[in-house]
Structure 1
Amino acid sequence: MKKRVKAIIQVIMVIGIFLTLGIWQTTQADAADNSLQRIKQRGELIMVTSPDYPPYEFQVNKNGKSRIVGMDIDVAKKVAKDLHVKLVIKSMNFDSLLVAIQTGKADMAIGGINPTTTRRQSVDFSKIYYSGGQSFLINSSDVNKYKSVKNLRGATIGAQTGTLQYGLAKKKIPNSTVKGMDKSTDLVLALKTHKIDALGIEKPSAEAYVKNDPSLKMIPSGYHLDKNEVGAAIAFKKGSDSLVNAVNKSIDQIKQQHLTDQYLASAGKYMKVNTVNTSMWHYWSYFAKGVEYTILISIVATFFGVLIGVILALMRFSKQKWIRGLAISYTEFIRGTPLMVQVMFVYFGIGVVVNIPALISGMIAVSLNSGAYVAEIIRGGINSVAAGQTEAAESLGLSKRDMMRFVILPQAFKNIWPALGNEFISLIKESSIVSIIGVTDLIYQLNIVRADTYRGVMPIFVAMLLYFIMTFALTRLLNHYEGKMKHAG
């Protein structure tokens, strides 16, 4: 046991050293501010956003084609045009936006981000380009109950995790219970199903929901806030002074020409396009793309998971203590940490040193995770092979390699096929976690459809049905091959 703990500690230390070196290298590279020069040389301005927050940023489905639109997107396009570069948009969860720019995944983050004092300690901000104010969404049936923010004392308030609204609700509404969720769409659904009493949200977004959903109403927040912290600003990595100064010139023009009014009007037109037809069939291409990515990730993770699992299982049977220790340490460490953390570590942590795309990062993380579980399944299968089989193989003069290849492993796989099948089925469902880094799998597309259509439950039902179809089809396929193995035996 002591050796195992020691090996696990060594693995953690290696990871810590690896990250420290990566951060040091990044810091050294950024010691001289070349943020603007780097973008112009690349010819691209990479921006991250969370496109589930109309009218700031959301996806529109027009003629079967999907694209991200909204006031913030128009602001970003103006900035890119003034810099004479191409705008590249990456999507991910709101609470990952600042991490993305800190780790070099993007040049700037936009998404109705308020430049609070706490956030300014971690990232740089542009000037505020729009101040929409704060509001609360409530159910229409509660209009007489919650006439103002004073009536919300002691109520359950919802707010998006990591936002200004979450902190304000905790600080300024006495005796209230604040519940945070990653997606505003989840919060709206929680409100409509009476899991929360009110939802703290930016005023333009609240207005958008009220216009498109008659079951919701809006009340003013009544907050008295510092003008320097309230309003939407663009976030940058610390030390990006040249880039911030260039962007501020564009923001000055946006304010002087009152362009945000035009951008909001344009966003309103796009929102009407989305709500003309909110049937799930109209969004079939979204779900189809989600299924495509989910299957792709699952297939790749299955292949590499089995490969890693076999290698780790064989390492566990090695006579070399350090090889066994390495395999045990890896297996215990991976199985002892959540897949979500592993996905974020591969994308953001390793991304400090090597810039890995979101899809590849998701595949790597899910494969590494699956490999640890498959290793234990295969190890159990190898142990289940009767000792007489090994003795018989040795009597025939087979080498240990041939014995494992032709005698042990074939029988082991036959014994563990049901357990291995369950792991493959679980992979399809667990791969949904990659949506947190912006991979357009089924869960990611589900949230986009919910944001676009203002329908909370039906997209979830469609996703459930699609997951069931995929897992049921795989179950039948695995059962078919299991039957053939038994017949062959």
Structure 2
Amino acid sequence: MKKKSFFLVIIVFLLALIIPVTHAKAANDNYLQKVKDKGTLVVGTSADYPPYEFTAKENGKTKYVGLDISLAEKFAKDIGVKLEVKNMNFDSLLVALETHKIDMVIAGMNPTPERQKSVSFSKIYYTGDQYMLINKKDAAHFRKIKDFKGKTIGAQTGSLQYSLVKQQMKGNDVKGLAKLNDLVIALQSQKVNAVAMEEATAKAFAENNRNLKVIDPGFDIDASQTGSAIGFSKGADSLVNAANKTIDEVKKDNLINKEYIPAAAKNMTTNGKKNSMLNYWTYFAKGIEYTLIITVVSVFFGFVLGTLFALMRLSRNKLTHGLAVSYIEFVRGTPLMVQVMFVYFGIGAVIQSLPALIAGIIAVSLNSAAYVAEVIRSGIESIPAGQTEASRSLGLSQKETYRYIIIPQALKNIWPALGNEFVTLIKESSIVSIIGVTDIMYQMQLVQSATYKGVIPIFIAMIIYFIMTFGLSKVLGYFEGKMKHA
């Protein structure tokens, strides 16, 4: 009994020490000072949400614009630092915030009770109603929520609109996608009957597409869930307080209605006038550049690592063999998308300076290595055992046997399979767009959001990928022919 009492006293004593320290840390956090010290405010957003955040072309370069971006620029100016915008999927923003890849999230985000458990929010800076975007030809059929019974409704994953549809339209199928551009394409192609959006965004899409119409379906909105706020890491009170000061000034001068929304509308109008794909060729050119960088580097490291793991798997050493088998099976048993996100958000949480491009290359290289290892292993095992025995009888060491006898013959046998892996790598590299790497897929989405055209940018991306893969296939075929005649 005395022992239990002693431990109880110790626990109470420790809690008494910990609680004040925790409160002191929360009250005197250094988040704001860290941002000032590095001189840059890194803002995460999903730039497919006009008029909040979207892209415009300025002097051939991508520029992030919208009322959210204008507010972020003022906030950065108020605290005396430069603004850096990171564009990624909406449902990846809070993960990026949690792993400190970004300093804040500004993406028309609603401070729902669920989000407030892990995110510190600023004051509400803008409030809009929740609307539906429908095809204009369906306007006579759809007016209120009850009219959509049994229909498919689209909404952005992780958004307030997605939750509203799930809660208040239980007789409907919900199709969630990460990008609003994709949802609009789904609407126009009859994959969904409507898309739930915030009022200003729905009107922006409708104003730039005469085949779409905006309606108010009559969602029952909880006052605590309405409005947009800036998200910060939990406990970043210094940044929250600084942001609130900026928001107070913006509201006092009515800057959102006087300056930010008119500026966004001007950019949207400009985009509408310059929505020819020829005006955005530089976007696709930049995407090709990054896709080639990722592919070439990943092919090199994937081949080197793949060869190493193949030899490890063929080793008689149980530890070496076991490590290789475990790695290969684990990588082949998990999706590349998950691996990319783990490297960027997981490992990147430890290595804060890890750029998205490097993270993408690491993930794709490690993934490719597992498949290359199996291709090389099968090639080596296809060589008759007599080849090894003959070379060893001639006095060649095991290393020399592999280098001069086994590998050259195996490479000739596996070249078609190896070439197929390299071609596949070009297409699979498109996954890295989810962490903000500016490859072809990323640039395609920017063009979609800038031009309000969904299908044409996809078609152009398809053609680009085909040209790249077909060209590589021809080059690989040429070398295959050389090997056959060697």
Q: Sort the TM-score into its range (normalised by shorter chain).
A: over 0.9
1:286 partnered with 2:287: no
Deviations 1:69-93 (A, max 9, x none): 1110001001101101111111111
Deviations 1:345-376 (A, max 9, x none): 00001112112110100000000000000000
Show CA shifts across 1:380-408 (max 9, x none): 01001121211121012111111111111
User: Structure 2 matches for 1:237-316, cutoff 5 A?
Assistant: 237-261=233-257, 262-316=259-313
* 2:40 equivalent to 1:40: no
Contact 1:149 1:219 in 2 (8 A): no
Distance in 2 separating the partners of 1:133 and 1:296: 44
Q: Is structure 2 residue 131 aligned with structure 1 residue 135?
A: yes
1:347 equivalent in alignment to 2:315: no
- 2:218 pairs, out of 222, 226, 235, with 222
Are the equivalent residues in 1 in contact too, given 2:122–2:230 (CA < 8 A)? yes
**Secondary structure of the corresponding residue to residue 46 of structure 1:** strand
Match of 1:440 in 2: 438
CA distance in 2, matches of 1:448, 1:397: 62
Instruction: Give the aligned partner of residue 393 of structure 2.
Output: 395
CA offsets 1:467-486 (integer angstroms, 9 cap, x no match): 00000000000000000011
Tell me the secondary structure at the aligned position of residue 114 of structure 2: helix
Structure 2 residue matching 1:45: 3-state secondary structure: strand
Partner Cα distance (1:260, 1:153) in 2: 37
Is 2:330 aligned against 1:333? yes
One-letter code aligned to 1:372: A
Q: Percent identity?
A: 57
Other-structure match for 1:85: 81
What is the Cα deviation at residue 213 of structure 1? 0.4
Distance in 1 between the 2:63 and 2:390 partners?
64
Cα contact 1:59–1:66 (8 A) shared by 2? yes
What is the distance in 2 between the residues matched to 1:339 and 1:293?
18
SS in 2 for 1:146: coil
Report the Cα distance in structure 1 between the residues aligned to 2:150 and 2:482, rounded to whole angstroms.
62
SS for the counterpart of 2:106 is strand
Q: Distance in 1 between matches of 2:420 and 2:89?
A: 29
Quote the Cα distance in structure 2 between the aligned partners of 1:316 and 1:174. 52
- The number of equivalent residue pairs is 460
Verify the 8 A CA contact 1:154 1:174 in the aligned structure 2: no
- 3-state secondary structure, aligned to 2:108: strand
Tell me how far apart the structure 1 counterparts of residues 457 and 77 of structure 2 sit (CA, whole Å).
36
Do the aligned partners of 2:283 and 2:447 also contact (CA within 8 Å) in 1? Answer: yes
Which residue of 2 is the match for residue 22 of structure 1?
Answer: none
Are positions 1:374 and 2:401 aligned together?
Answer: no
Q: How far apart are 1:174 and its partner, in Å?
A: 3.7
Provide the C-alpha distance between the structure 2 equivalents of 1:269 and 1:453, rounded to a whole number of angstroms: 14
1:151 partnered with 2:147: yes
Q: Please state if 1:67 is matched with 2:63.
A: yes
| Cα distance in 2, alignment partners of residues 330 and 275 from structure 1 | 50
Q: Please name the residue that 1:421 is paired with.
A: 419
* Residue of structure 2 in register with 1:405 after alignment: 403
Q: Which residue of 1 aligns with 2:10?
A: none
**In 2, distance between residues paired with 1:317 and 1:176?**
54
Q: Measure the CA separation in 1 of the matches of 2:412 and 2:196.
A: 55
Alignment RMSD, CA only?
1.2
Match of 1:473 in 2: 471
Q: What is the SS of the residue equivalent to 1:478?
A: helix
Larger mean CA deviation between 314-323 and 75-84 belongs to 314-323
| Structure 2: runs of 5+ lacking an equivalent | 1-21
TM-score, normalised relative to structure 2:
0.93
Q: Deviations over 1:60-111 (max 9, x none)?
A: 0134222111110001001101101111111111100010010010110111
Cα distance in 2 between the residues matched to 1:137 and 1:234: 25
Q: Is 1:319 matched with 2:316? A: yes
Between 333-342 and 351-360, report the one with greater CA deviation: 351-360
**Match for residue 56 of structure 1?**
52
Provide Cα deviations, 1:225-255, integer angstroms capped at 9, x if missing partner: 2333211111111110111111111011111
SS of 1:228's partner is helix
List 4+ stretches of structure 1 deviating above 6 A: none
Structure with the greater alpha carbon radius of gyration: 2
After superposition, the C-alpha distances for 1:396-421 in whole angstroms (9 at most, x for unaligned) are: 21111111111111111111000000
Aligned to 2:460: 462
Which amino acid in structure 2 is aligned with residue 375 of structure 1?
Answer: A
**CA distance in structure 1 between the aligned counterparts of 2:224 and 2:124, rounded to whole angstroms:** 8
1:444 aligned partner, one-letter code: Y
Which runs of 5 or more structure 1 residues have no equivalent in the other structure? 1-26
Q: Distance in 2 between matches of 1:62 and 1:205?
A: 22
After TM superposition, the structure 1 = structure 2 runs for residues 4-19 of structure 1, keeping only pairs within 5 Å, are none
